[in-house]
Amino acid sequence: MIYTELQGFSKKKEIALTTEEEPIWIARDLSKCSGCRKCEIACSLFHEDRIWPEASRIRVFMLVPGAEFPHFCAQCKEYPCVKSCPTEALSIGRKTNAVLVDEEKCIACGNCIDACPGRVPHMHPTKNYILICDLCGGDPECVKVCREGGWNVLKTVPRKDFAYSLYARTPEEITRDLAVKIYGELGEEFL
């Protein structure tokens, strides 16, 4: 096993990575998104056993008409959300390197939301804990439904040196870039 230490934690935390199973990441081609929201449905069915987009760990935003995109954890290299948690309710999964939420320890303080550069974590609509993409244990439902639909916006890839910070941005920041990509310079007029 290979062990790595994340800098900045109050206690030494180690992540065990097996050489047989490399951690994954969800690559995104946001300009392909049709806004169908099937990713939200698949996520809520998997985690909540019902269609409940508000409780989905992935959310589709449309701040400019025609510029819809999925927004979810980018798995920042530094894991600022995990570092910010005062109760250690957030941890990093050994199998996937995804952020995991211990619902019993979470006090819904919101520190992780403030620490996240993309403001991705959000509160469960009826329970007192935070929601963050956990990669469905290594087989993300959102990716499967996106692939089945033929959109291929989301794709599971080995976690390597991706520009995670490009996706760890607020919906408003992503919309600005996406609107310009879709509409050219006129896209700035929508903002």
- 40, 58 Cβ separation under 8 angstroms: yes
What's the pLDDT band for 51 if we cut at 50, 70, 90? very high
pLDDT of 9 higher than 50:
no
- Separation CA 190–CA 171 (nearest Å): 14
User: What phi, psi does 129 have (nearest 5°)?
Assistant: -155, 165
The tens digit of pLDDT for each residue in 170-183 reads 999 999 999 888 88
Average pLDDT over residues 46-63: 97
Burial class of residue 37, CB neighbours in 10 A (0-12, 13-18, 19+): middle
Amino acid 175: pLDDT: 92
Q: What is the DSSP string of 111-132?
A: HHHHH-TT---EE-SSSSSEE-
The domain ranges of the chain are 24-190
**Overall size of the chain counted in residues:** 191
Alpha carbon distances (Å) from 133 to 7, 103, 120? 22, 14, 9
Q: Which of 8-22, 39-53, 173-187 has the highest mean pLDDT?
A: 39-53
- Separation CA 45–CA 78 (nearest Å): 30
Q: Tell me the fold of 24-190.
A: Alpha-Beta Plaits (3.30.70)
Question: Which letter does DSSP use for residue 158 in this model?
Answer: E
- 132, 90 Cβ separation under 8 angstroms: yes
What's the pLDDT band for 160 if we cut at 50, 70, 90? confident
